[in-house]
Amino acid sequence: MAKRVVIDPIPRIEGHLGIEVEVEDGKVKDAWTSGTLFRGFEIILEGRDPRDAWILTQRICGVCPTSHAHTSAMCIEDSYGIRPPDNGRIIRNLVEGSQFLHSHILWFYHLNGLDYVDVVSALNALPREKYLKDVQARLKAFVESGQLGPFANAYWGHPAYKLPPDLNLLVVAHYLEALEMQAEASHLSAFFGGKMPMIQGTPPGGVTCTPGVEDLQNFLFRLKKIQKWIDEVFVEDVIAIAPYYLEYATIGKGVGNFLAWGVFEDKSFDPTKRTLPMGAIYNWELKRNEVNQEDVREHVTHSWYKDGPALHPSKGVTEPDFTGYDTEAKYSWAKAPRLGDRPMEVGALARMLVAYVSGREKARTLIDNTLDRLGLSGRYDVLMSTLGRAAARALEAKLIADSMVEWTMELIENLKAGRKEMFTPHEPPDSGEGVGLWEAPRGALGHWYTLKNGRVERYQVITPTAWNVSPRDGNGVRGPIEEALIGTPVVDPKRPLEVLRVVHSFDPCIACTVHIIDPETNEVYRFRVS
C-alpha cells in the first residue's frame, strides 16, 4: 500500500522547500516539490531606475548574490549596447569564481555531506594522528554534553550510512577545515567586490576597483591556498567516499536534459566560448546542442499564480494567486520553466557535461581521470545521477580554482603593460530591452527586462532552482527533482534519508523575499522598517 511522506521544510538548504513523496514497495512512486516562499522581486523592480537592478537583485539570494549582480549588469548592458573592458571582464570572472568556490565547499561539506557521513560513528574511529585525535575529542565533548550543535537532528545510525568510522572522522575534520576555506573564498570575493555577500564593485559597464600588482599578488596567495586544499582534500574526499555509495550512480537520474547558459567570460564575449560554455544536452545523449533563450517558456498551471498561457520571460507576468496546497492542482510558488517542452536540469553537472561535449580539455581530463580512479572508465552514464552531481561540484571547483590562477596572471600582465581600463563610460537610453544569461553555482540564471521612459517596465528572473525544483508543467510533466525522486529506495519512511540525498544533490535554493503575501486575500504587503 502506498504511503505519503512529507518533508517540510527540507533541512540544510537556503529557504523553504517542501517535498512530498508517495512510497510503495520501498521505493518512491510519485513526488511533488513545493517552493513555499513567494519571492516577488519582479514586482519590486517595476518603475525603478534600471541601474538599481544589479544591487537589488542580489537580495534575491544571500548565497549567490554575485551571480545575480553580474547577470543583472549584463542584462542592463545588453539594453545599453555596451560591454566592460578586458580588465573588467577578468575581475568579474575572479569575483564570480570566488563565489563559486565558496558555494561548492559549503554545499559538499556543510549542506550535503552529513547525508553520507555519520558524525556519531566517528567516535568509534581509532585515529593515530594527533590532529584527528583532537577532532575526535571535540566531537566526544559535543556528544557527551547532549548538544551536538550543527550535528544535531540527523538520522545517525541509519542503515544507509556506509562509511567506516575512520573515514567518518576524517571527513568531519575536513568539515571543520572547510569553514576556514569558505572564509578565505569570501575574502577573495571582497577583494574586488567590496564586501561579501552583496558585492558593490561590478555595476553595468565594468568594475569600480583599480587593483595594483601587489593587490593581485595578495589575492593570488589566498587563492593558491584554496586551490591546494581543493586538490588535496575536496577532490580526494569525493574519491574516497564514492566507492561506498556507488548505488547512487543509478539513483536520482532525473530528466536526462541538461542546460547551461555558460559562465566565465571569454575575450570574445561569445557565450559558447566561455570557460564553461553555453549549450544543452537532450535525452541522455552526450552530444552538444545549440540553445536559444527564445525557446524558454514559464508554465503556471501548478503554481500559485493567476492562470494563463506559458510565456517567454520577456512577456512574463508575476501575479500571485494562492489557492491552497493541492498536488492535483496548485502546490508551489515556483513557476515551471521549460526549454521548448523540455524540463531541464541545471547546475554543476550540467555545466561539466556541456563543457565535456563541447571539447573543453580541462573538463574532459578531470571527468575521465575521475572515472578511471573509480574503476568506471568510459561509464559516462553514471555521471547523470545523485553521485554524478557530487563529483561534478568537486571537479568544477578544481577547474575554477585552476582557471582563476590563470586569470589573475593575465590581469597582472595587463596592468604591467599599462592596460588599466576597468569601466566603459556610457549614457543610459530611455527605452530598450535586455537579456542577461549567466550561471550561479546552482545553475542557469536568466534576467530579462524592458526599459521604458528610463524606468523598468518589466523585469523577470528565472533562477537555477526554478528549473530544478519546478512543479509539473501544463503538460503534466514533472520537474527535474520530482522526476529524479522516482524509484528512489526508502528503507524507513519515518527517516527518509535517501530522499534527502537526492534532493540535496541539486542544492535547492528557495530565494527569500522582502514582502509578505496574505494567503486569504492575495494582497502583497509592503513594510518600512525604521
pLDDT at 155 over 60: yes
Q: Report the percentage of the chain scoring pLDDT > 70.
A: 96
Which pLDDT belongs to residue 62? 80
Asked whether 19 and 7 are in contact (CB, 8 A), the reply is yes
Give the pTM: 0.94
Q: What band does 529 get if pLDDT is binned at 50, 70 and 90?
A: very low
Closest by Cα among 432, 433, 437, 478 to 295: 437
pLDDT at 150 over 90: no
Measured distance CA(470)–CA(43) in Å, rounded: 20
Which pLDDT belongs to residue 525? 43
Which pLDDT belongs to residue 512? 41
Asked whether 310 and 299 are in contact (CB, 8 A), the reply is yes
Q: What three-state secondary structure class fits 332? A: strand
Which pLDDT belongs to residue 358? 98
Which pLDDT belongs to residue 521? 59
Q: What is the mean pLDDT of residues 440-449?
A: 97
Which pLDDT belongs to residue 522? 55
Residue 530, in any domain of the structure: no
Q: How far is the CA of 6 from the CAs of 37, 52, 426, 454, in angstroms?
A: 17, 40, 52, 47
pLDDT tens-place string over residues 343-376: 999 999 999 999 999 999 999 999 999 999 999 9
CB half-sphere exposure, 29, CA atoms < 13 A: 11
Q: Report the percentage of the chain scoring pLDDT > 90.
A: 87
Which pLDDT belongs to residue 29? 97
Residue 119, beta-bridge partner list: none
Strands 524-525 and 27-35: unpaired
Closest by Cα among 109, 93, 107, 178 to 401: 93
Residue 156, in any domain of the structure: no
Least confident span in 12-16, 165-169, 270-274, 435-439 = 12-16
Q: How far is the CA of 76 from the CAs of 274, 298, 456, 476, 487, in angstroms?
A: 20, 22, 10, 35, 43
Q: What band does 153 get if pLDDT is binned at 50, 70 and 90?
A: confident
Q: What band does 527 get if pLDDT is binned at 50, 70 and 90?
A: very low
| Domain total of the chain | 1
Domain ranges, residue 178: 3-151+161-525
Residue 84, in any domain of the structure: yes
Q: What CATH number does the domain containing 312 carry?
A: 1.10.645.10
Measured distance CA(120)–CA(422) in Å, rounded: 51
The DSSP 8-state label assigned to residue 60 in this structure reads: G
Helices (H), 119-164: 130-145
Residue 402, in any domain of the structure: yes
Residue 493, in any domain of the structure: yes
Residue 63, C-alpha cell as written in the block: 548565497
78 backbone dihedrals φ, ψ, rounded to 5°:
-60, -40
Which pLDDT belongs to residue 1? 73
pLDDT tens-place string over residues 192-227: 999 999 999 999 999 999 999 999 999 999 999 999
pLDDT tens-place string over residues 9-47: 898 888 889 999 999 999 999 999 999 888 788 888 999
Measured distance CA(390)–CA(247) in Å, rounded: 13
pLDDT tens-place string over residues 82-128: 999 999 999 999 999 999 999 999 999 999 999 999 999 999 999 99
Residue 342, in any domain of the structure: yes
Measured distance CA(156)–CA(117) in Å, rounded: 9
Which pLDDT belongs to residue 523? 55
Q: Please state, rounded to an integer, the average pLDDT across all residues of the chain.
A: 93
User: In residues, how long is the chain?
Assistant: 530
pLDDT tens-place string over residues 473-516: 999 999 999 999 999 999 999 999 999 999 999 999 986 433 34
pLDDT at 465 over 90: yes
Which pLDDT belongs to residue 41? 85
Q: How far is the CA of 84 from the CAs of 53, 203, 268, in angstroms?
A: 17, 10, 12
Measured distance CA(221)–CA(154) in Å, rounded: 38
Q: For every residue of 278-329, which 3-state class applies, written as one string?
A: CEEECCCCCCCECCCHHHEEEECCCECECCCCCECHHHCCCCECCCCCCCCC
